[in-house]
Amino acid sequence: MLMFPVLSFFDFDWNLSRFTDPVNIFNFLFLGVGASAICFASWNYAVKLIGAVKISIYI
> Any idea where the domains of the chain sit in the sequence?
21-59
Q: Mind listing the pLDDT tens digit for each residue in 34-53? A: 888 888 898 899 999 999 89
Rounded CA-CA distance 57/37 in Å is 21
pLDDT of residue 39: 87
> What average pLDDT does this structure show over 14-43?
88
Helix segments in 1-59, DSSP class H? 4-7, 22-29, 39-50, 52-55
Apex 18 CA angle, 39 and 37, nearest 5: 10
pTM above 0.75, yes or no: no
